[in-house]
Structure 1
Amino acid sequence: MHAAASGVGHFAVQFAECRGAHVIGTARAGNHRFVRSIGAAVVVDYTTTDFAEAIDRVDVVLDLVGGEYGRRSLRVLRDGGRYITVQESDARGDPRYRMVTGKPSPAMLTEVGSAVARGQVRVHVDRVLPMNEVRESHRLSESGRVRGKLVLTPWS
C-alpha cells in the first residue's frame, strides 16, 4: 500500500489488517513506527528503496499516490493480482488496473464508525485547524507530509 501513513492510507492499513491481510506499506522512515503500530507487517522507505525491488509478489496494490507508481506497482503483482488506485497513473490501460472513487453509503459509514467506537480502527489526527485556514490545510495535504487526518473546525 502506497502512502500508508496518509489520511486514507492509515485507515486502509487498519481495515486490511482487521480482515487478515498481510500489509506491506510504503512510507518515509519517520512514519515507519506509526505504520507498524496500526497493523503493517512490513514498511518500505520509498525515499531510499525501490519498493518493486524490495518486496515479494502481492495480490493487491492500493496506490494512493498515482503517477509513475503504477507501472512499478504492476511488477509486484502475482498472477491474477489487482492494482487499485485513487489517482491517475501510468498503469492505465493494463487489465489489472482499477481506478476507484469514494462513494460511501450510510451502511459503510456506520461500519467505519462502529470499528472506531470498538477501538478496532484508530483515527490519527495530525493537526486541527480553524476553517479560515482551509488554504493551509490544502497546502499541507498536498505536501505529502501529513500523518493521518487534518481536521477543520468552524471556530478559531
Structure 2
Amino acid sequence: MQPTLVLSLLFVLFAPPGALASSPTKMRALLMTDYGGSEVLRIGEASVPMPSSGEVQIRIHAAGVNPVDWKIRAGRLQRTSPVTLPYIPGRDVAGIIRSVGPGVTRWKVGDSVIAVLDGGGFAEYVNVPVENVAPKPAKLSFEEAAGIPTASLAAWRTLIVNADIKQGQRVLIHGGAGGVGSTAVQLAHWRGAHVITTASERNHEYLKALGADEVIDYRTTRFEDVVKNVDVVLDTVGGETLQRSPAVLRQGGTLLTIVGRPPAEACSERKLRCPSPSTATRAQPGEELAELGKLFDQGTLKMNLDARFPLEQATKALELSEGGHARGKIIVVVVD
C-alpha cells in the first residue's frame, strides 16, 4: 500500500470531530463599507476563517432581519456599538454546522441549529460561540427558525425573566405586530395574562389570532384614554410612547422597554419596577433559545414571516424593516 494512502486512511480514522468538514476560504456576503443609507451596502466576497476554540461554523440557510441591522448601517449606534468596516450585518441565523472548533463536544457536523450573533449573518458562513447556539425547532423550516433569536429572546427576557408575568395579570404590549411584539403577545397569552396591544387596524385580526384580548388602533386612539391599572407594560416603540406609558400602570407595576430607557422620574413617583436594561439575564443565549424552540415545536408559539428576500436583495430587506410596518419577521434566504 502506498504511504500516502496509509496516511490518508489514518487521518480519516483518527481525525478530531469536525476536521473532515473542510471549509471554503471565500464566501458571498452583504458588506457594509461605511455608515449611511443603502448605498453603503453591496454583495461581495469575504474570507471564511476556521472556527476557534469553543466555536462552531454554521452554513447559513436563512438569516433574520432586525431593526438593529439598519440602525447600525445608518450610524445610529456608532457611539455605543461601533463596528469594524467592512462589516457584515445580520444577528439571527438558522443553518447546519459545517465544522467545529477545538474543545467543542456539544455539537457535531450536520446538526441543524439556530444562533444569535454580534453580526455576520447575511453571508454563507459564520463562526459562533457554542453558548449562542441552540437546536433548530424540528417543526420549523430554516426560514421560520431564522426569525426566532433576537426578537423572541427580547420578548422572553422582558416578560418571562424580568416581569415573570402570571395568570390573570393585565399586560399592555406596544407594537404587537412586530417581531418582538408578536412573540410577546403569544408568551403573555401562554402565561394566562389578559393581553392588550397596540397596532394599526390592518393587524387587529392577526393579533387576536395570536392571543390578544384587546387591540387598540394607535392611529385613532391614545392608549392612556382607554387603558388603566395594568400590571405590566412592554414597549417596543420608544419615544413618546415610552414616556406616556407609566400613566397606565398600577402603582408598583412593571415598565419594560427594548427601545431607550424608562423615564426615571415617573418610575420613582409611581413606585414602578423599571429594570434597565429590561432584557438583562444571567442565562446563556443558547439555553434560552432552546426553551423557546420547545415552545415553537409544541405549537405554543408560531412564527409569521412577513417577507423573504434572497441574499442578493438583502438591502431591500433592511429597507422594509426600516419602514417599520412589517407583520412578523423579514427573512434573508441564503440557501434555497
Q: If the length of structure 2 is used for normalisation, what is the TM-score?
A: 0.44
Does 2:256 correspond to 1:78? Answer: no
Q: Report the aligned-residue RMSD.
A: 1.8
- State the identity %: 38
Shift in Å, 1:154: 1.1
**TM-fit CA distance, 1:133:** 2.0
Measured in 1, the distance between the counterparts of 2:237 and 2:183 equals 15
Aligned to 1:19: 191
Match runs of 1:22-61 below 5 Å: 22-61=194-233
Unaligned 5+ segments in structure 1 are none
Q: Which amino acid aligns with 1:49?
A: T
SS of corresponding position for 1:23: strand
Aligned counterparts of 1:47 and 1:91: Cα–Cα separation in 2 = 23
1:109-124 correspondence runs (5 A): 109-124=289-304
Runs of 4+ in structure 1 displaced over 6 angstroms?
none
Amino acid at match of 2:315: R
What is the SS of the residue equivalent to 2:174?
coil
Asked if the contact 2:234/2:255 (under 8 Å) is kept, the reply is yes
Query: Partner amino acid for 2:263?
Result: A
Structure 1 residue 35: deviation in Å? 0.5
| Separation in structure 1 between the aligned mates of residue 188 and residue 304 of structure 2, nearest angstrom | 17
Q: Say yes or no: does 1:146 pair with 2:302.
A: no
Alignment partners' CA distance in 1, 2:235 and 2:209: 20
Q: Which of 274, 278, 286 lines up with 1:100 in the alignment?
A: 278
1:88 to 260, 271, 275: 260
Equivalent residue of 1:82, what SS?
strand
- In structure 2, the partner of 1:127 is 307
Q: Could you list the per-position Cα deviations for residues 84-124 of structure 1 after superposition, in whole angstroms to 9, with x for gaps in the alignment?
A: 00111572453433333477622211111111111111100
Retained in 1: the 8 A contact 2:256–2:262?
A: no
Q: Name the SS for the 1:75 alignment partner.
A: helix
Indicate the structure whose relative CO is greater, using CA pairs within 8 Å and at least 6 residues apart: 1
Q: Look up the equivalent residue of 1:108 and give its one-letter code.
A: E
> Compared with structure 1, are the counterparts of its residues 65 and 123 closer, same or farther at alpha carbon in structure 2 (3 Å cutoff)?
same
How many residues matched?
156
Residue identity in the other structure for 1:78: R
Cα gap change, 1:102/1:153 in structure 2, threshold over 3 Å: closer, same or farther?
A: farther
SS of match in other structure, 1:25: strand
Q: Measure, in 1, the Cα distance between the counterparts of 2:314 and 2:324.
A: 16
Letter of the aligned partner of 2:298 in structure 1? Answer: R
Structure 1 residues 76 and 27: alpha-carbon distance in aligned structure 2, compared to 1, 3 A threshold: same
Structure 1, residues 4-49: CA drift from partner, whole Å, max 9, x if none? Answer: 0101110010011101111100000000000000000000000000
2:117 corresponds in structure 1 to none
* Structure 2 unmatched ranges of 5 or more: 1-172
Could you tell me how far apart the structure 2 residues matched to 1:141 and 1:102 are? Answer: 25
